[in-house]
């Protein structure tokens, strides 16, 4: 994953003041690869990386993050920004019904989405009507009717005798759409969702039909439905629909597959239109309002690393971090005072166990993490406080009688003092490894 690659790119935590060109270039290479792997279109990647570099250059280095993490954070922030910042909702018509038209290639997931969206709106207290204006495929009307039935939403359909509540006058999709909206107005449905035909590829006739429907029904929203698996074709397809029909928002479908969602970024940056919903399966409930931050993580394949980075940034005491970083660099001896200090930093980070468990590279520490407990830190603190300053810097001198004294002083059993000294020995070893370039988060090594 990207985070693994970045970890190996940035082995050392260095006490730098600013990100250097080399830091940014090294990270940018990895980010570029991650974006291309996620099927973000090549020109979009190029432009995006350019923006990120500009922002990253000369920005202050956070004490809590290493240069790689810092650039990742900038990239993530930019991605969220470009993907829409806050989620945009359907804009409702002042005079109902609100008309929503769906456009997109055949198989993109329009008819499936029509059912999901109608259910979503119904759950919000609306009274939607579905309109079957796809007369291209023989089964299209029936399919919408099945979806409507599942959602408990009526369907306005063109053909007589297909168990519809309504019947339209003609087989012309433009007329069906127009009649459907009129029907909604008459019967006081407050939202109309117009399903339209798609072709396998971008096609002039299809564009014309969709444009004509748009002109006829004057929709409040035109949603461009696109399959997340479409990959590098996303840009050309989105551009064709944007030019040929025009749209106000985007719905990304089939996000339940292994597509990393780069299409979202491509479509957004090429057309400037926001992604509003995501479809995540064939069932009616596999539908969600689009979350730019989740998509950014998905594109970067970051898991929950971002939350971890943010939390580390918030909690890490800057001065302490700097001192500790200097210690890594100097390869100074790691003492029990440092150990105590790290414990306290960890405590500040609060209930980080869950986050730490999700961190790449945490596998090897799972056992230690599982044993992690805030109260344990208090006991460790008590034990170390019962040691003399000399004992803290030279723990080797802590023999049996000293152990007994420390245990008594801190109100614990001798076995706990033994356990602490043992863990300290392990932490010391790990610190040495980190100083030699093992990577990892500040604060991790002292984990009890
Ligand atoms: P349309 O041609 O644009 O109307 O596309 P359809 O709604 O008919 O969907 C085409 C196929 O994709 C159908 O088999 C759907 O069940 C399936 N489909 C639609 N949306 C999703 C989704 O989010 N995830 C998955 N796995 N399948 C989907
Ligand atoms: Mg369809």
Residue pLDDT, tens place only, 267-297: 998 999 999 999 999 999 899 999 888 888 8
Asked whether the predicted pLDDT for residue 438 surpasses 60, the reply is no
403 C-alpha to center of ligand 1: Å? Answer: 68
The closest ligand to the CA of 224 turns out to be 1
Domain residue ranges in the chain: 2-85, 98-290, 316-435
Mean pLDDT of 21-29: 81
Task: Tell me which range, 123-127, 297-301, 367-371, is most confidently predicted by mean pLDDT.
Answer: 123-127
The closest ligand to the CA of 252 turns out to be 1
pLDDT at 73: 81
Report the SS3 class of residue 429.
helix
Q: Which overall architecture, per CATH, does domain 98-290 show?
A: 3-Layer(aba) Sandwich (3.40)
108 in a labelled binding site: yes
**CB neighbours of 82 closer than 8 A, spacing ≥ 6?**
48, 265, 268, 269
41 C-alpha to center of ligand 1: Å? Answer: 23
The closest ligand to the CA of 106 turns out to be 1
**CB neighbours of 8 closer than 8 A, spacing ≥ 6?**
439
Q: Mean pLDDT score of the chain, rounded to an integer?
A: 81
Asked whether the predicted pLDDT for residue 331 surpasses 70, the reply is no
DSSP letters, 118-171, are HHHHHHTT--EEEEEE--SSTTHHHHHHHHHHHHT--EE-SSTTSS-S---S-S
Report the SS3 class of residue 201.
coil
Task: Grade residue 444 by pLDDT with cuts at 50, 70 and 90.
Answer: very low
What's the CA gap between 428 and 447, in Å, rounded?
Answer: 11
Asked whether the predicted pLDDT for residue 320 surpasses 70, the reply is no
**What is the percent of the chain with per-residue pLDDT over 90, rounded to a whole number?**
40
Report the SS3 class of residue 93.
coil
Task: Tell me which range, 35-39, 163-167, 182-186, 427-431, is most confidently predicted by mean pLDDT.
Answer: 182-186
The lowest-confidence range among 130-134, 369-373, 426-430 is 369-373
How far is the CA of 161 from the CAs of 137, 158, 168, 246, 273, in angstroms?
A: 17, 10, 11, 34, 40
Asked whether the predicted pLDDT for residue 338 surpasses 70, the reply is yes
The lowest-confidence range among 1-15, 53-67, 123-137 is 1-15
Mean pLDDT of 356-372: 54
Mean pLDDT of 411-432: 85
**What CATH class is the domain 2-85?**
mainly alpha
pLDDT at 327: 60
Q: Which two tokens stand for residue 259?
A: 């597509």
Mean pLDDT of 29-40: 86
Nearest-CA residue for atom 11 of ligand 1: 107
Q: Higher model confidence: residue 15 or residue 259?
A: 259
Q: Where are the beta strands (DSSP E) in 67-135?
A: 98-103, 128-133
Asked whether the predicted pLDDT for residue 393 surpasses 50, the reply is yes
Q: Are 234 and 266 in contact (CB under 8 A)?
A: yes
Nearest-CA residue for atom 9 of ligand 1: 109
What is the best residue among 110, 112, 206 to mutate for testing ligand 1's pocket, by most ligand atoms within 8 Å of CB? 112
pLDDT at 168: 47
**CB neighbours of 161 closer than 8 A, spacing ≥ 6?**
none
pLDDT at 445: 41
Asked whether the predicted pLDDT for residue 254 surpasses 70, the reply is yes
Which pTM value belongs to this model?
0.68
Domain 316-435 has CATH 3.40.50.720: no
Tens digit of each residue's pLDDT (9 = 90 or more) over 57-86:
767 666 667 677 777 788 888 888 888 876
Looking at residue 172, the DSSP 8-state letter turns out to be: -
Residues with CB under 5 A from ligand 2 (ion): 110-111
The lowest-confidence range among 27-31, 108-112, 405-409 is 27-31
Where would I find the H helices in 218-317? 234-244, 262-271, 292-300, 305-315
pLDDT at 161: 47
Q: Please state the atom number of ligand 1 nearest to the C-alpha of residue 112.
A: 7
């Amino acid at each position: 994953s990207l985070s693994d690659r970045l970890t190996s790119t940035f082995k050392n935590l260095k006490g730098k003041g600013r990100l250097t060109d080399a830091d940014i270039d090294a990270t940018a290479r990895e980010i570029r690869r991650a974006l291309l792997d996620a099927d973000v279109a090549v020109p979009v990647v190029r432009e995006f990386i350019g923006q990120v570099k500009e922002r990253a250059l000369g920005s202050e280095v956070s004490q809590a993050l290493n240069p790689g993490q810092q650039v990742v954070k900038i990239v993530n922030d930019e991605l969220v920004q470009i993907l829409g910042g806050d989620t945009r909702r359907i804009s409702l018509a002042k005079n109902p019904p609100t008309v929503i038209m769906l456009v997109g290639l055949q198989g993109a997931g329009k008819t499936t989405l029509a059912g999901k969206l109608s259910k979503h709106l119904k759950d919000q207290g609306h009274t939607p009507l579905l309109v079957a204006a796809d007369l291209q495929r023989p089964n299209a009307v029936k399919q919408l009717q099945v979806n409507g039935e599942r959602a408990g939403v009526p369907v306005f359909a063109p053909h007589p005798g297909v168990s519809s509540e309504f019947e339209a006058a003609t087989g012309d999709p433009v007329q069906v759409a127009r009649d459907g909206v009129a029907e909604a107005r008459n019967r006081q449905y407050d939202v109309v969702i117009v399903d339209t035909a798609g072709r396998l590829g971008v096609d002039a006739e299809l564009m014309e039909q969709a444009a004509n429907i748009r002109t006829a029904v004057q929709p409040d929203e035109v949603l461009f439905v696109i399959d997340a698996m479409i990959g590098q074709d996303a840009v050309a397809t989105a551009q064709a629909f944007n030019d040929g029909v025009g749209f106000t928002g985007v719905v990304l479908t089939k996000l339940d597959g292994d597509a990393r969602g780069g299409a979202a970024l491509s479509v957004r940056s090429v057309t400037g239109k926001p992604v509003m919903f995501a479809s995540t399966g064939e069932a009616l409930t596999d539908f969600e309002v689009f979350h730019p931050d989740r998509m950014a993580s998905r594109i970067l394949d970051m898991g929950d690393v971002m939350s971890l980075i943010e939390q580390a940034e918030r909690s890490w005491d800057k001065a302490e971090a700097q001192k500790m970083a200097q210690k890594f660099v100097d390869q100074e001896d790691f003492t029990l005072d440092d150990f105590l200090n790290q414990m306290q930093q960890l405590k500040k980070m609060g209930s980080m166990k869950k986050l730490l468990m999700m961190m790449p590279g945490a596998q090897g520490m799972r056992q230690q993490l599982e044993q992690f407990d805030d109260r344990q830190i208090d006991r460790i603190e008590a034990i170390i406080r019962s040691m003399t300053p000399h004992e803290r810097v030279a723990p080797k001198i802590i023999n049996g009688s000293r152990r007994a004294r420390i245990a008594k002083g801190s109100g614990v059993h001798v076995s706990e003092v033994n356990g602490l000294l043992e863990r300290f020995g392990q932490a010391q070893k790990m610190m040495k490894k980190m100083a030699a370039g093992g990577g990892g988060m500040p604060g991790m090594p002292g984990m009890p």
